[in-house]
């Protein structure tokens, strides 16, 4: 297929500059996004043993609720029940004295369960939510700040995703003329530029539908309020839609009459395809407004949320429910919206799809990293003949090389390092805020990697940062092994799916050890004045 020369020139220019200006932020979001497919498993891995209470049988939940509400009157207003591990499990029952959500410093919660004798066990803990750090990096690229009810980083990534979509389309135009010939042609050798270009093209074209979906959905997620406000302005001439009068209906009951058995039976009747992950109860002191927000999971449905569909009901009158938020009850319009969310989150098909999205997320991170490296390699000055003077690399090339390597590898070091540091520190010392520890560990390691790269130079820092990543990844299975051998340390308990996490970490540790050796060999073989020569 032939593409006009002017279109090709414009596409190359757009792809290059759009990619180089947004690639680093996209790397962070895609790397964290891939890991976020298993964010609750990461939270479980980094959670100290004392923050997880015993599970109980379904027929014991009513007994637990009654005991807790009798001893802790504040739970007569709100509390949460947990049933499954899909949403990270701390205890069968939990509540907060102060409301909070997401990754924030105020995650102090009360946990409650029953021991073997049916006696109430309670504990107040500052909950460890390492997975939320990963999720926030995925949503905001680590950019701090709040605008309205959204993070500043969400809006920034919305703008970046517009550029990202342009980069995708322009890259497709560039590759169309040689798509068939060059699709799977990866040519290793001395020409590093050709190698990076081949791998960049293969990863990009193979995952093209995924990247189109992600770019469009991020734009919608970031600016949905603006879209809805615009539609409201056009449809209603900026007038508020009149609300129907609310019919007052008195419900004579009390929190002590809440029946968890009736609620579970009704949920099973309405949504037999799902299992219940957790239920959040609120406004229990006001029976007319009392609400139970029920999180449902099914690996066979396209879920609206990252992990769940949701339905609501009045816990005192279980026949008063709203199940429009679950896929099996959605209309055509809601099904389309649910599909958009589900395709972005990978919340369909169960664990096989999650593993695929993990690979696609990490592949996307490599795509943006390789794009920046390709830009750097293309602009590197080389000594063509021995008698020629030793070249000096352009300042913009050196700056971008330092920024790319320091930021991208620093992100990996920050996330893995925060998990390892958090698990050890929380087990051995008393920490006021577990989430502050994770956040400060990430940003500390992240900025330290960037500063170190700019001070020592990218050529020297690259193998050292790769080795650091490998060491931290090795530390994950070693830490889990120590936790099993020495359970009194309180490093956590053994779980089958956590062993899978440690095995994957071990495989990646070996891979990064190989990357370190390759970078070290290239540094030693580099000629004076070349791009990867150490000064």
pLDDT in tens, 340-366: 888 899 988 888 999 999 999 999 999
Q: Could you tell me which residues are beta bridge partners of residue 122?
A: 112
- Angle at the Cα of 31 from the Cα atoms of 515 and 396, rounded to 5 degrees: 70
Q: Where are the alpha helices (DSSP H) in 325-457?
A: 332-345, 350-378, 395-428, 434-456
Question: Hunting for tokens 């947004």 — which residue is that?
Answer: 22
Q: Which residues contact 254 (CB under 8 A, 6 or more apart)?
A: 287
Other CB atoms within a 10 A radius of the CB of residue 294 amount to: 30
Distance CA 439, CA 144 (A): 11
What's the pLDDT at 496? 56
What's the pLDDT at 244? 47
What's the pLDDT at 246? 47
Would you say 447 and 411 are in contact if contact means Cβ atoms under 8 Å apart? no
Q: Residue 13 half-sphere exposure, CB side, CA atoms within 13 Å? A: 6
Would you say 110 and 96 are in contact if contact means Cβ atoms under 8 Å apart? yes
What's the pLDDT at 245? 46
Q: What is the pLDDT of residues 227-242, one digit of tens each?
A: 766 766 666 555 555 5
Q: Where are the alpha helices (DSSP H) in 207-257?
A: 208-236
Q: Residue 491 is encoded by which pair of tokens?
A: 């490093």
Would you say 299 and 349 are in contact if contact means Cβ atoms under 8 Å apart? yes
Distance CA 187, CA 139 (A): 35
Please give the C-alpha separations between residue 325 and each of 81, 310, 312, 339, 396, in angstroms, as whole numbers.
20, 5, 9, 12, 50
Other CB atoms within a 10 A radius of the CB of residue 207 amount to: 17
What's the pLDDT at 103? 46
Distance CA 216, CA 221 (A): 9
Q: Residue 460 is encoded by which pair of tokens?
A: 């020297």
What's the pLDDT at 471? 98
Q: Could you tell me which residues are beta bridge partners of residue 108?
A: 126
Please give the C-alpha separations between residue 89 and each of 47, 52, 65, 183, in angstroms, as whole numbers.
11, 7, 17, 45
Which residues of the chain have a pLDDT value below 70?
Answer: 1-3, 7, 85-88, 98-107, 175-192, 228-229, 231-256, 382-388, 493-498, 535
């Amino acid at each position: 297929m032939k593409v006009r020369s002017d279109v090709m020139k414009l596409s190359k220019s757009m792809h290059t500059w759009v990619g180089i200006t947004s690639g680093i932020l996209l790397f962070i979001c895609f790397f964290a996004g891939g890991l976020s497919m298993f964010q609750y498993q990461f939270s479980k891995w980094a959670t100290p043993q004392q923050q997880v209470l015993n599970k109980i049988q379904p027929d014991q939940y009513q007994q637990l609720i009654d005991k807790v509400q009798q001893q802790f009157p504040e739970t007569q207003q709100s509390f949460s029940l947990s049933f499954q591990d899909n949403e990270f499990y701390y205890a069968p029952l939990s509540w907060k004295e102060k409301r909070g959500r997401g990754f924030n410093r105020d995650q102090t919660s009360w946990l409650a369960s029953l021991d073997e004798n049916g006696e109430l066990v309670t504990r107040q803990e500052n909950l460890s939510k390492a997975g939320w750090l990963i999720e926030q990096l995925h949503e905001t690229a680590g950019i701090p700040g709040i605008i309205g009810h959204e993070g500043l980083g969400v809006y920034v990534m919305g703008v970046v995703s517009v550029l990202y979509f342009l980069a995708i389309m322009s890259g497709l135009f560039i590759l169309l003329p040689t798509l068939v010939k060059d699709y799977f042609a990866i040519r290793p050798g001395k020409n590093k530029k050709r190698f990076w270009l081949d791998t960049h093209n293969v990863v990009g074209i193979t995952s093209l539908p995924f990247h189109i979906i992600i770019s469009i959905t991020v734009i919608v997620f970031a600016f949905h309020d603006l879209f809805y406000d615009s539609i409201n302005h056009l449809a209603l001439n900026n007038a508020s839609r009149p609300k129907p009068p609310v019919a007052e209906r008195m419900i004579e009951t009390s929190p002590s009459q809440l029946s968890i058995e009736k609620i579970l039976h009704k949920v099973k009747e309405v949504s037999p395809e799902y299992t219940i992950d957790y239920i959040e109860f609120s406004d229990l002191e006001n029976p007319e407004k009392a609400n139970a927000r029920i999180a449902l999971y099914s690996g066979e449905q396209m879920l609206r949320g990252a992990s769940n569909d949701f339905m609501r009901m009045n816990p005192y009158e279980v026949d008063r429910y709203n199940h429009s938020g679950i896929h099996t009850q959605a209309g055509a319009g809601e099904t389309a919206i649910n599909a958009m969310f589900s395709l972005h989150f990978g919340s369909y098909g169960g664990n096989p799809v999650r593993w695929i999205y993990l690979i696609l997320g990490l592949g996307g991170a490599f795509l943006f990293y390789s794009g920046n490296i390709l830009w750097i390699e293309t602009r590197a000055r080389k000594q063509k003949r021995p008698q020629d003077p030793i070249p000096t690399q352009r300042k913009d090339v050196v700056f971008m090389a330092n920024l790319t390597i320091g930021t991208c590898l620093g992100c990996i070091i920050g996330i893995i390092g925060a998990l390892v540091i958090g698990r050890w520190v929380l087990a051995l010392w008393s920490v006021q805020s577990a989430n502050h520890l994770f956040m400060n560990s990430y940003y500390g390691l992240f900025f330290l990697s960037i500063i170190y790269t700019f001070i020592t130079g990218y050529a020297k820092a690259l193998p050292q940062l790769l080795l650091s990543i490998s060491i931290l990844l090795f530390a994950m299975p070693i830490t889990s092994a120590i936790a099993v051998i020495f359970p009194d340390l309180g490093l956590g308990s053994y779980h089958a799916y956590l062993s899978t996490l440690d095995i994957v970490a071990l495989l990646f540790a070996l891979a990064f050890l190989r990357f370190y050796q390759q970078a070290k060999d290239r540094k030693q073989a580099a000629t004076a004045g070349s791009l990867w020569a150490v000064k």
